[in-house]
Chain A
């Protein structure tokens, strides 16, 4: 699994670009994890906080400290060769700086927040900020790949690459299981998990409130009725359009009435006792908070 960053001396440009792309691959892996964890931060802060903290620290300590400076060296060389890209390069430089400041702030805020705060509105706000950071990081990566990574190899010469590669830094800890386990144990453990539940757990998901279950069943029943009604209407219109003469009209109206009554008798005018009871229960459950308190107290006394 461990892949040392050793540039190929025969094509230093290719090796360097491969290394940068590999950094983006690792970054994407961690961004995907952060995005999923941020969702769960306010619901289960105890289990999420350590992993999220490790993941954000990894971004701060590797990507902002080493990967971006590597890119900056590359971009500086491209800037010298392609002055037309000055404006875009300026924007990317600015994003590197602002991204680093934002991640430092996120790490600080997450470290300082206690479980109670994370479970409340501050936790939700922090999760939203983390989500925004992830979005920006993805767009930033895509822009870099579109504008610079694609052009770098064509724009730079051998001397440029030699200068950049000679000054290369450390290896991405995510590529070495031992390194990631030592430096970011919670992150390493989480990356080894097989299933990523974006909800709490599968079991909790399975216990849906009875209210929802009944609502779903009712929607199915009335959805089916709606389709029956539409089919019948379509058939009736077709019959009426095919009518020729007054006797035909009388006969068609008679047929339609018989069919509609059968339809109504089956579904609408005499719906099943279950559908009526469930409907009433749902209406009462929905209205209970709005009912006068005394009424419900009295009924309790009577029982």
Chain B
């Protein structure tokens, strides 16, 4: 049974974000509205502190540390936002809660956004963040990768690229409703079946988002670093997907997990019932706490 808090959030998401995505795509206006909406998200919990140094070459990044002390684990989190915008506060709070639950440090990467900085700028920033962790002496077995929505896509692309560059793999990856397929098969599977049921996302401007992200080079959409679902998953660490049954991105997770398992990689998909996209970040909803509890369990499994 979906809680009343989440039902309310679904209704608000349908009336705001989904409507904005269905109407004319105006990135500046969308960023402005998201900034205004962010005022309703809580600030950091008092027992987690934020440090902005050291940053990355081309973008900002933050360290989140539980004040009660931390283990050797580090969660490298890549926020979502259709590659063009982001819910900065909500993602920071989500990572803070994950860090608290797992007794880990968090690294939040505000990778460069399209259309100003199209692909591969954002992915390069994520790779740099990962390499920076390694150069700081963090052992790969203590690094957990996490990503929400577009950040999930970048997390998978990071894994594929890191493997191709012979970098050591992190201990595991947590992927929250990742968008893993940017090819133009928008009229199939969950993208069609859940087109009206998804309370947040709408693909009416999917082509335009892809065009802006790839700076018009649509042929890149079938590149594994853009659409990880077409990639070769062999050699990747354990993957854990959380997705909702009513999301248009449901198949993105399931297809990736299938491909991963075919390649001999441990991959698990948790399909939650009728929740909105990105519910893990809704700190006021009980389902969010439970999802974070399970993500924390997965972190302990991969980073004992």
Contact = CB atoms under 8 A, between A and B. Distances in A.
Interface of B is mostly: helix
B267 A208 contact: no
Contacts of A223: 14-15, 18-19
Given A32-B297, A216-B197, A226 B15 contact: yes
Contact of B271 (A25, A145, A202): A202
A199 B298 CA distance: 20
A28 B301 contact: yes
B60 interface: no
Interface residues of A, number: 41
Contact of B304 (A24, A195, A208): A24
Contact of A217 (B193, B196, B302): B196
A257 interface: no
B148 interface: no
A199 to B, nearest CB: 4
A90 to B, nearest CB: 19
Contact of A205 (B196, B273, B297): B273
A145 B71 CA distance: 8
Interface stretch (A102-110, A111-119, A134-142, A265-273): A134-142
A146 interface: yes
A29 interface: yes
A287 B270 CA distance: 37
A18 B304 contact: yes
Q: Which of the listed residues A35, A149, A195, A197 has the most CB atoms from chain B within 10 Å of its own CB? A: A195
A12 B197 CA distance: 56
A135 B269 contact: no
Interface string A3-26: 000000000000000100110111
B296 interface: yes
Given A28-B297, A32-B298, A220-B14, A146 B270 contact: no
B101 A195 contact: no
Interface of A: 18, 21-22, 24-29, 31-32, 35-36, 134-135, 138, 141-142, 145-146, 149-150, 194-199, 202, 205-206, 208, 213, 216-217, 219-220, 223-224, 226-227
6 contacts: A24-B300, A25-B301, A142-B102, A194-B257, A195-B257, A227-B20
